C-alpha cells in the first residue's frame, strides 16, 4: 500500500482474552513476544497507520514497522519498505489481528511468550485479542483540537494539519511532524516531551511551546516566526536554517544545539543558554540578546551587527570567525582567547576589555574603539584592518604597569642617581630597591630605567603621574604583522616588543604620540608620511621600512634597556625628517638617504636670527655672491625649523632654484636643493656624451648593470651645467602599463673624478579616489638628518661607524655623501602614500 495513504489512526495495545499477556517488542532482538504485565508500557504500544478494514501498518516502540520474517514477527522495516499489512476481524468485543500474505489470511497468534502466525481457518483461542486504543488517530485529533497528556511517541504525522491543536502534557518523543502545519498549536509545559521529535520544514508560526522538553529535536528549516520557546529545554536540538524571526527563546536551554544559518531576527534570547551551540551563519539582527550565554559556541559568519554583548557570557572557546559584528558593543568584557579571525568588527567598541590571547587575525576593525587600557597581550591582529581604529592607551606590549609615582620625583630621577626619595617611593609601592639598583636617564623629564639586579623598571611621565612598568614574563607581546592601519590612533599605547612587521600605518589622523615602541618590530612596514615625532623607539626594528616623508623629529632611536640597537637597515628614508632625534648607536646600514647638493660653503651661526625672521640681509646676500652663488633679487626665506633649518627660494635661477641652510654644531652649512639618492657612479670619461645628450650603449649598460635599466624613451633632457650637472628622464611612453621605480636622475661630476648618479624622482602606483590604480610622480625631498643627531657609535648607510668620519685624519678624506651612500641601496617602494592618498 502507498505510504502516503497510511495515516495515523491511533496507538493501540493487544492482549490475550482472560489473561494479562500483551503483544510486546523485545528491544534486544526486535522480535514480537508476549509479555505478562498488569498495564501496557511503551513496548506494548503500537502506532497504527491506514484503515482498520482495508489494511493498516503497525509501528513498534523502536520506530520500525512490523514484518513477518518467515518464522516470527519482527519490528525491522522502514516506512519506505514493505511492512506487513493487517486488518482487524471483529469477534464480539474482541478482534483477530489478521495479515494478508501471498493470497492467504493469517492471524497473529500469541501463545504465552511466543508470537507467530497461524491460518485463519480454525484458529486457536490464543489468536483472539483484546484491542485497546491508547491515543486517538489524526482525524480525531484534528476534530477535537485538544489532546492533553497523550502518548504520541514515534507517531508519524508528516505534513499533517495540526494548526491550533493543544498537545500540552503529551509525549511526542521521536514523533515525525516534518512539513506539518502547527500554526498556533500549543505544546507547553515541563511535561510536554518533544525529545528527538522531527519538525523539519514544519509551519510553526505562533506555536506556543514554553517550558517544553525538546532535547535532540529536529526543527531544521522549520518556519517558527513568533514561536514561544521561553524556558524550554532544547539542548542538542537542531535548528539548521530555521526561521525564528521574532521568536521568544528567553531563558531557553540550547546547549549543544545545531543552529547553522538560523534566522533569529528580532528574537528574544534574553538569558538564553547557547553553550557549545553551533550558530554559524545565524542572523541575530535586532535580536534582544541581553545576558545570553555563548561559552564554547560557534558563531562563524553570524550577523551580530549593532548588538550589545556587554552582558553576554563568552569564554575562550567562543568562536566569531567571519562573523559580521559591525558596531557591536563589547566594552569592559573578559574576552581572553576569543576567536574573531576574519570577523567584520567595523565600529566595534572594546574599550576597557581584556582581549589577552584573542585571535583577531584578518579581522576588520575599521573605526573600532579599543581605548581605556584595553588588554591585547599575546593577541594576534595579523593582517587585520585597523583603518581609523582608536587604540589610545591600549596595552599590547610585553610589559605591564605595576604602580604609579608622583611627578614630584622627576628632579630626583633626572639626577641619574637613586635618591632617598626614590627609595622611599618604591618601598611604599611594595617594590623595595636593593643597594645594587642603578638609574639611567633616557629622556630627561620623560623616561627613565631602574635596573635592580634582574628586575627592570621603566618609568614614563604622562604629565599627571609617573607610570612604572615591569616586563611581563607571563604574556607575549601582541602580533600586528601585516596589519592595514591608515589613520589608526595609538596615543599612549604600550607597543613594547610588538611585532608590527609589514604594517601600513599613515594618514592625516594617524597618531603614535607618547606611544611606547621600544623593541617593536616594524621591519618592512610602510610608514611613509607618518608622524612619529617624539616617539620612544628604543631598540626598534625598522629594517626595510618605507619611511619616505616620515616625520621622526625628536624620536628616540637609541638602544633598548637590554642593549638591543634600533635598526633602519635597508629602509627607504628619502625625505624623512630626523630633526632633534636621537640616533646614537642606531644602525642605518644600506638605508636610502636623499641628499642635498653640496654643501657649497658655510656661514657663522650669527646669521640664524635673521633667517628666523625670514630676512635676507645685504651681508648674507654678499656671502652668497662671494662664494659664486648669487641670490636673485626676489629670493625669499622659509623657516623649516626655527634656529636650525631654513630654505631659500631663489626664484628665476634654473641652476640653483633652492638653497638649504642647516645648522650643525655652531656652523651653518649652505647646500643646493634635493638631488636624491646616490645610487652608483659612472666614469668621468662619459662627460662628453652627457654634454651632447647622447645615451650611448656604454651609459645604458652601466645603468642596467646597476639595476636601473633604461627604456627606449629614456633621455638626457637637460644639461644644467656643462661638464658638471645633467638631468635624465626614464619615463615610459606606454600608457597601458603602470610604471614604478626611479624615473628621473641627476648626474653630477664629483671631486673624485666620477659622475655620481642620483635617483631624484620615483614613480609609484597607488589607488585613486575610485580605487583604480594609477601611477603618481613622487619627487624626493631631502632626508633631514645631520651628524648632530648621531654620535660615533651610529652605523651609517655605507656600513661604517660615524666615528670614522668624525675622527678622520689626513690622508683620510671621507665625505658626508660617502657616509650617507648605501653600498647596496634598497629597492624603492612600489607605493608611497601621503596623508590623504593611501596604498
Strands 594-596 and 46-51: unpaired
- The mean pLDDT value for 572-600 works out to 97
Strands 128-136 and 8-16: antiparallel
Give the sign of the dihedral formed by CA 599, CA 603, CA 608, CA 614: negative
Residue 699, phi then psi, degrees to nearest 5: -70, -45
CA 264 → CA 5, 624, 793, distances in Å?
A: 36, 79, 65
- The mean pLDDT value for 250-278 works out to 98
CB 548 within 8 A of CB 756: no
Q: Which residue has the cell 484534528?
A: 142
The answer on pLDDT for 467 being more than 90 is yes
- For 605-693, where are the E strands, in sequence order? 636-641, 645-649, 658-664, 667-672, 674-683
Nearest Cα neighbor of 828 from 734, 690, 708, 683 is: 708
Determine the pLDDT at residue 472: 73
CB 730 within 8 A of CB 711: yes
Determine the pLDDT at residue 810: 85
Nearest Cα neighbor of 56 from 96, 90, 98, 15 is: 98
DSSP labels, 182-243:
-TT-B--STT-B-TT-B-TT-B-TT-B-TT-B-TT-B-TT-B-TT-B-TT-B-TT-B-TT-B
- Order of strands across the sheet with 601-604? 601-604, 667-672, 658-664, 645-649, 636-641
pLDDT tens track for 184-208:
999 999 999 999 999 999 999 999 9
Distance of alpha carbon 534 from alpha carbon 553, whole angstroms: 6
Nearest Cα neighbor of 588 from 638, 658, 636, 540 is: 540
CB 445 within 8 A of CB 414: yes
Across all residues in the chain, what is the average pLDDT? 96
- The mean pLDDT value for 790-812 works out to 94
> Please, what are the domains in the chain?
3-136 (2.80.10.50), 406-471 (no CATH), 598-672 (no CATH), 677-779 (no CATH)
Strands 674-683 and 114-119: unpaired
Q: Measured at the alpha carbon of residue 170, what is the angle toward residues 169 and 176, in degrees to the nearest 5?
A: 145
- The mean pLDDT value for 212-227 works out to 99
Judging by beta carbons within 10 Å of its beta carbon (0-12, 13-18, 19+), is residue 90 exposed, middle or buried?
Answer: exposed
Residue 567, phi then psi, degrees to nearest 5: -135, 130
C-alpha cell belonging to residue 139: 482525524
Phi-psi region of 292 (alpha: psi -120 to 50; beta: other; left: phi over 0): beta
DSSP labels, 466-520:
EEEEEE-SSSPPPB-TT-B-TT-B-TT-B-TT-B-TT-B---TT-B-TT-B-TT-
Residue 368, phi then psi, degrees to nearest 5: -75, 155
Determine the pLDDT at residue 93: 93
Determine the pLDDT at residue 103: 87
Distance of alpha carbon 393 from alpha carbon 411, whole angstroms: 26
Residue 689, phi then psi, degrees to nearest 5: -60, -40
CA 652 → CA 150, 668, 818, distances in Å?
A: 103, 24, 31
H or E stretch covering 619: helix 618-626
Nearest Cα neighbor of 785 from 740, 735, 827, 819 is: 819
Determine the pLDDT at residue 737: 92
Confidence of residue 72 (pLDDT cuts 50, 70, 90): very high
Nearest Cα neighbor of 141 from 120, 157, 122 is: 157
What is the CB neighbour count within 10 angstroms for residue 427?
11
Q: Which residue has the cell 657609535?
A: 793
Q: Which residue has the cell 507517531?
A: 155
How much is the pTM?
A: 0.90
Strands 466-471 and 31-36: unpaired
Phi-psi region of 201 (alpha: psi -120 to 50; beta: other; left: phi over 0): left
Share of the chain above pLDDT 90, in %: 96
Determine the pLDDT at residue 455: 92
- The mean pLDDT value for 326-330 works out to 99
Q: Which residue has the cell 633649518?
A: 645
DSSP labels, 240-254:
TT-B-TT-B-TT-B-
Confidence of residue 37 (pLDDT cuts 50, 70, 90): very high
pLDDT tens track for 306-324:
999 999 999 999 999 999 9
Distance of alpha carbon 132 from alpha carbon 328, whole angstroms: 59
DSSP labels, 88-142:
EEEETTEEEEEEEETTEEEEEEEETTEEEEEESSS--GGGEEEEEEEEE-HHHHH
C-alpha cell belonging to residue 379: 593577541
CB 160 within 8 A of CB 177: yes
3-state helix, strand, coil in the chain (%, to 5): 10, 30, 60
Distance of alpha carbon 831 from alpha carbon 523, whole angstroms: 16
The upper half-sphere exposure of residue 24, i.e. CA atoms within 13 Å in the direction of its Cβ, equals 23
- The mean pLDDT value for 556-582 works out to 96
Distance of alpha carbon 44 from alpha carbon 40, whole angstroms: 5
Judged by average pLDDT, the poorest of 185-194, 403-412, 464-473 is: 464-473
pLDDT tens track for 333-358:
999 999 999 999 999 999 999 999 99
Confidence of residue 4 (pLDDT cuts 50, 70, 90): confident
Amino acid at each position: 500500500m502507498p505510504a502516503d495513504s497510511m495515516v495515523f489512526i491511533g496507538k493501540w495495545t493487544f492482549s490475550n482474552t482472560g489473561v494479562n499477556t500483551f503483544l510486546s517488542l523485545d528491544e534486544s532482538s526486535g522480535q514480537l513476544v508476549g509479555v505478562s504485565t498488569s498495564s501496557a508500557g511503551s513496548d506494548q504500544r503500537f502506532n497504527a497507520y491506514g484503515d482498520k478494514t482495508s489494511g493498516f501498518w503497525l509501528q513498534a516502540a523502536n520506530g520500525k514497522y512490523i514484518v513477518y520474517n518467515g518464522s516470527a514477527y519482527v519490528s525491522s522495516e522502514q516506512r519506505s519498505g514493505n511492512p506487513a499489512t493487517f486488518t482487524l476481524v471483529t469477534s464480539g468485543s474482541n478482534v483477530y489481528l489478521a495479515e494478508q500474505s501471498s493470497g492467504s489470511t493469517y492471524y497473529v497468534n500469541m501463545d504465552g511468550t511466543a508470537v507467530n502466525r497461524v491460518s485463519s481457518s480454525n484458529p486457536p483461542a490464543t489468536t483472539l485479542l483484546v484491542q485497546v486504543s491508547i491515543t486517538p488517530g489524526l482525524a480525531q485529533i484534528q476534530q477535537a483540537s485538544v489532546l492533553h497528556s497523550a502518548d504520541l511517541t514515534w507517531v508519524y504525522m508528516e505534513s499533517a494539519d495540526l494548526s491550533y491543536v493543544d498537545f500540552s502534557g503529551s509525549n511526542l518523543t521521536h514523533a515525525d511532524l516534518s512539513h506539518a502545519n502547527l500554526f498556533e498549536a500549543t505544546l507547553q509545559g515541563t511535561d510536554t516531551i518533544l525529545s528527538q521529535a522531527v519538525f523539519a520544514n514544519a509551519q510553526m508560526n505562533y506555536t506556543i511551546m514554553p517550558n517544553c522538553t525538546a532535547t535532540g529535536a529536529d526543527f531544521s528549516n522549520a518556519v517558527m516566526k513568533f514561536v514561544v520557546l521561553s524556558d524550554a529545554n532544547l539542548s542538542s536540538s537542531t535548528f539548521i536554517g530555521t526561521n525564528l524571526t521574532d521568536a521568544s527563546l528567553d531563558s531557553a536551554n540550547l546547549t549543544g544545539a545545531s543552529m547553522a544559518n538560523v534566522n533569529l531576527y528580532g528574537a528574544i534570547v534574553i538569558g538564553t543558554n547557547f553553550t557549545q551551540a553551533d550558530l554559524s551563519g545565524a542572523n541575530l539582527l535586532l535580536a534582544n540578546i541581553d545576558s545570553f550565554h555563548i561559552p564554547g559556541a560557534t558563531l562563524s559568519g553570524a550577523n551580530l551587527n549593532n548588538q550589545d554583548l556587554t552582558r553576554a557570557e563568552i569564554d575562550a572557546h567562543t568562536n566569531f570567525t567571519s562573523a559580521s559584528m559591525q558596531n557591536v558593543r563589547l566594552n569592559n568584557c573578559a574576552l581572553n582567547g576569543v576567536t574573531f579571525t576574519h570577523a567584520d568588527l567595523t565600529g566595534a567598541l572594546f574599550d576597557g576589555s581584556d582581549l589577552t590571547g584573542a585571535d583577531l587575525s584578518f579581522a576588520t576593525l575599521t573605526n573600532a574603539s579599543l581605548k581605556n587600557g584595553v588588554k591585547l597581550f599575546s593577541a594576534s591582529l595579523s593582517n587585520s584592518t585597523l583603518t581609523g581604529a582608536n587604540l589610545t592607551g591600549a596595552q599590547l606590549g610585553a610589559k605591564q604597569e605595576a604602580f604609579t609615582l608622583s611627578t614630584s620625583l622627576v628632579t630626583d630621577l633626572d639626577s641619574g642617581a637613586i635618591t632617598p626619595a626614590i627609595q622611599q617611593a618604591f618601598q611604599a609601592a611594595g617594590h623595595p630597591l636593593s643597594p645594587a639598583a642603578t638609574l639611567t636617564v633616557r629622556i630627561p623629564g620623560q623616561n627613565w630605567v631602574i635596573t635592580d639586579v634582574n628586575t627592570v623598571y621603566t618609568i614614563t611621565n604622562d604629565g599627571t603621574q609617573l607610570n612604572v612598568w615591569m616586563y611581563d614574563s607571563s604574556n607575549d607581546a601582541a602580533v600586528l604583522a601585516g596589519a592595514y592601519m591608515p589613520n589608526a590612533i595609538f596615543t599612549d599605547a604600550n607597543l613594547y616588543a610588538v611585532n608590527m612587521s609589514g604594517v601600513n600605518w599613515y594618514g592625516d589622523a594617524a597618531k603614535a604620540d607618547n606611544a611606547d615602541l621600544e623593541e617593536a618590530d616594524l621591519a618592512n612596514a610602510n610608514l611613509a608620511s607618518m608622524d612619529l615625532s617624539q616617539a620612544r623607539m628604543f631598540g626598534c626594528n625598522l629594517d626595510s621600512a618605507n619611511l619616505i616623508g616620515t616625520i621622526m623629529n625628536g624620536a628616540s632611536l637609541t638602544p633598548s634597556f637590554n642593549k638591543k640597537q634600533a635598526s633602519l637597515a635597508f629602509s627607504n628614508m628619502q625625505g624623512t625628517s630626523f630633526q632633534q632625534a636621537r640616533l646614537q648607536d642606531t644602525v642605518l646600514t644600506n638605508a636610502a638617504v636623499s641628499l642635498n647638493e653640496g654643501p657649497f660653503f658655510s656661514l657663522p651661526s650669527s646669521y640664524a636670527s635673521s633667517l628666523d625672521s625670514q630676512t635676507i640681509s645685504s651681508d648674507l646676500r654678499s656671502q652668497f655672491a662671494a662664494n659664486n652663488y648669487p641670490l636673485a633679487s626676489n629670493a625669499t626665506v622659509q623657516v623649516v625649523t626655527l634656529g636650525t633649518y631654513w630654505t631659500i627660494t631663489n626664484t628665476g635661477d634654473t641652476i640653483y632654484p633652492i638653497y638649504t641652510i642647516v645648522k650643525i654644531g655652531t656652523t651653518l652649512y649652505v647646500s643646493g636643493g634635493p638631488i636624491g639618492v646616490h645610487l652608483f657612479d659612472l666614469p668621468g670619461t662619459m662627460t662628453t656624451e652627457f654634454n651632447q645628450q647622447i645615451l650611448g650603449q656604454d651609459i645604458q649598460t652601466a645603468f642596467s648593470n646597476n639595476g636601473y635599466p633604461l627604456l627606449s624613451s629614456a633621455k638626457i633632457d637637460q644639461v644644467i651645467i656643462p661638464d658638471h650637472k645633467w638631468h635624465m628622464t626614464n619615463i615610459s611612453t606606454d600608457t597601458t602599463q603602470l610604471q614604478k621605480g626611479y624615473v628621473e636622475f641627476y648626474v653630477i661630476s664629483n671631486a673624485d673624478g666620477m659622475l655620481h648618479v642620483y635617483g631624484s624622482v620615483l614613480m609609484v602606483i597607488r589607488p585613486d579616489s575610485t580605487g583604480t590604480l594609477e601611477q603618481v610622480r613622487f619627487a624626493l625631498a631631502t632626508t633631514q638628518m645631520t651628524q648632530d643627531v648621531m654620535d660615533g657609535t651610529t652605523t651609517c648607510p655605507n656600513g661604517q661607524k660615524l666615528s670614522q668620519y668624525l675622527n678622520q685624519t689626513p690622508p683620510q678624506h671621507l665625505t658626508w655623501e660617502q657616509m650617507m651612500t648605501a653600498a647596496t641601496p634598497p629597492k624603492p617602494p612600489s607605493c608611497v602614500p601621503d596623508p590623504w592618498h593611501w596604498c
